[in-house]
Structure 1
Amino acid sequence: MRFFEAIGRAIGGVLSPVAWQGSLLRGARLFHPDGVVYCAGVKPLAVEGEVGALAQRLGGPALVRLSGGIWRWRSANVERRPDVLGIAVRFRNSEEVTPAANAGDQDLIFLSARRLWLLPIAVFTTKTRDFLDNHYYAQLPFDVEGFGRAEFRLIPLRASTVKGNRLERLERSAAAGLALLRLEVRRRGARARWMAVADIELYEPVDIDQDTLRFDPFQAGKGIVPSGLLQSTRLSTYWASYLGRLLGARVRARRASARAARAARRARRRGQEE
């Protein structure tokens, strides 16, 4: 293990209790608590060289979760609040729609902010009313098999042209075959050029248990491995957040069951009295 990655894991261990308790109290992910999941297809664009080899590995079925970063979606005016948006992609080997990841799956997570340190600015510059009207960046570096140190981004090919809230716009764009995200890669460095890897087409929303659906940047079955100190902090904090929301979901289920049992007892008593 590299020295800085070891330091990152230690920092992640310190932050894990915060992630666990935050998710437990919120009853959802600490960040990106609410989202919608789409089944998708990945069409490789590059055919030659290092980028072509990467594109061929990523081609096939995918699951894509689109989410708000901060707010729950219960509020009617949530889209008008400053926020960042997120897109998590699982490149899959199987067409099966399931929250469980297989050994050969690859997860990548993107935010509508170019860099982590630009998040306070991105909160106010993100176009929160349309998922397809923002650029998304994986932000931190990866070691890519056959390519080297790299960065990734997602570029929607067109903004939504229909009216409605952001979920309605997204669903209508997908139904029309217009919900397209282009995955691009570049070598680490501000002057490196972005190269097209593949197009990701969103097909339709799917009903899936989002409490157990866990996107993990260290799920690297297709050779895209997180690298560096900041990436290493995510290993334990993501697990802690996942365990916190699972426990919160169980607590909510038990409370709901208890409320239902009490309501049934009250109904039986009223029936006996009558």
Structure 2
Amino acid sequence: MPELPEMELYRLELSKHFIGKPITGVEINREKSVNMPVPQFTSALERKKIIGIRRRAKYLIFDLSSGDHLLLHLMLGGWMFIGSDRVSPDRTKQVILSFGEKKLFFINLRLGYLHLVTPDELDKKLAVLGPEPFDPKFQLTDFQERLSKKRGVLKSILIDPKFIAGIGNCYSDEICFEARLRPTKKAADLTDHKIQSLFNAIKPTLSRALQIGGYMDYPLYVNDTKTGCYNDHFLVYECENLPCKRCGTLIERTDISKRKSFFCPSCQD
């Protein structure tokens, strides 16, 4: 599932192509991917401009000139592609938005969705989310206070969108590695020093992943050489039985609440 770095990369790239552009066509090939009857959804979008693209947690928000918003969650397996009638992946597209000759394809939205929402509906949907890791207001004191109320293990806490927004299965492991803490470590057992180490690992880990290109498996456009490059830079995630890049010990895997998790048994406490 795309996490904060992947969705932020999408936001940056899509903004270059579609902000200020009117939607000239809407094609829905899977009614369950949208939240209202297809004719109503289509009518509400056609001739409206994209005036902004934002990210909140793992959501993308397309601000429309009508005052409403498109709320996208790709969930597991969903992805996007910028192309045209002549250039597009040979995959089923659940939703296609046209901007003249240029098209934005939403692919593999079997679990994901693209919903048209009002400002009030959007606020209600996002109100339950925790702070953004890159928000300047998110400081160590806030993190300490939030963590003090938790009794579970770090993996489960970090992937909880109500605790902190945008972190999932992959980057929770990468953050724990950077902090030299096992994802199975209980929050209640952390010293102040270890809490600070965990906090200090969050922004650099996510920033590094964003700069490298995230771990999405599919390119966003033809000749896209950046998207997905983080697959070659994992520190522990999906690295079972490979040597730790810090100490050489073989990386191990464990399951936490039915989620796979990876760590170094030597240099993570």
TM-score band w.r.t. shorter chain: under 0.3
How does the TM-score come out when normalised to structure 1? Answer: 0.24
Q: Which has the higher contact order (CA 8 A, sep 6+)?
A: 1
| Structure with the largest fraction of strand | 1
How does the TM-score come out when normalised to structure 2? Answer: 0.24
